[in-house]
Amino acid sequence: MKQTRRRLLALIIATAAVMSLAGCHTDMWHQPKLKAQSANNFFADGKTDRPLVTNSVPVGYLRDNEAFYTGKVANKPVAQLPVPLTRELLQRGQERYNVFCSPCHGKVGDGQGMIAQRGLALRRPPATFHTDRLRGMPVGYFYDVITNGFGVMYSYASRIPPEDRWAIAAYVRVLQLSQYAKTNELTPEDLRKLQESTTNTESKP
């Protein structure tokens, strides 16, 4: 019985000691430090924040791949996709295109999206992609239009990240081909299907 009481006492003392050790570290809460954007007369400009070293870049923002991030090299739109052309890329492009572009440009890129059909306030109608001029544009041009806007069309840079801009640009090419495939570029199999599905097989140049 006596032993039990002694053990209990020892336990209480040990607990109290641990608690007091843990609780006494107020020095951790009062550290000499500088708060962001506070005044400071240590530096000549009177500010705590130090100016960034010239050319410093936050982690993950180096963006040294000019073609990928601007769609241009030496100020000219690139003709080659800077990402691998895969089925996944085109499917992603289709999905993103339908979300962001089809309301104006239409699902096939003919400029007949719902907004255009309803005649909602746009100073100029959405472009169709099926013109000789736009068919002849390098893929980087479409990336650039998405990034910087064009005429009355505003920039989508804040809403569509670079990866998705390329996916959409690649898909715009798909749409262009969908309305303007040259029959001599089709496989015999596809040509046969085409001839079966339509009696109007007028070939394009």
Determine which residue in the list 12, 150, 177, 182 makes contact with ligand HEC, applying CB under 6 A.
150
Please identify, using beta-carbon distances, which residue of 103 and 138 lies nearer to ligand HEC. 103
Say whether residue 180 binds ligand HEC (CB under 6 A). no
Residue (of 93, 94, 116) closest to 104 by Cα position: 116
Could you say which residues in the range 5-64 bind ligand HEC, by CB under 6 A? none
> Is position 151 an interface residue for ligand HEC (rule: CB under 6 A)?
yes
Q: How far is the CB of 138 from ligand HEC (least distance, A)?
A: 12
Q: Helices 87-100 and 162-179 meet at what angle, rounded to 10?
A: 90
How does strand 76-77 pair with strand 72-73?
antiparallel
Q: Which of 8, 11, 13, 122 binds ligand HEC (CB under 6 A)?
A: 122
Among 7-15, 17-25, 83-91, 123-131, the segment contacting ligand HEC (CB under 6 A): 123-131
Measured in degrees and rounded to the nearest 5, phi and psi for residue 204 equal: -90, 155
Q: Which CB, 43 or 149, lies closer to ligand HEC?
A: 149
- For ligand HEC, the closer CB: 108 or 115: 115
169 in Cβ contact with 142 (< 8 Å) = yes
b (16+ CB within 10 A) / e for 14-28:
eeeeeeeeeeeeeee
SS3 5: helix
Using rule CB under 6 A, residue 170 touches ligand HEC: no
By CB under 6 A, residue 138 contacts ligand HEC: no
How large is the C-alpha radius of gyration of the chain?
32
Binding test (CB under 6 A) with ligand HEC, winner from 90, 115, 191, 194: 115
Closest to 109 (Cα-Cα) out of 185, 171, 194:
171
Structure tokens at 17: 């000691």
Query: Residues binding ligand HEC: what is the number (CB under 6 A)?
Result: 21
Contact set with ligand HEC (CB under 6 A): 100-101, 103-105, 115, 122, 124, 126-127, 142, 145-146, 150-153, 156, 160, 168, 172
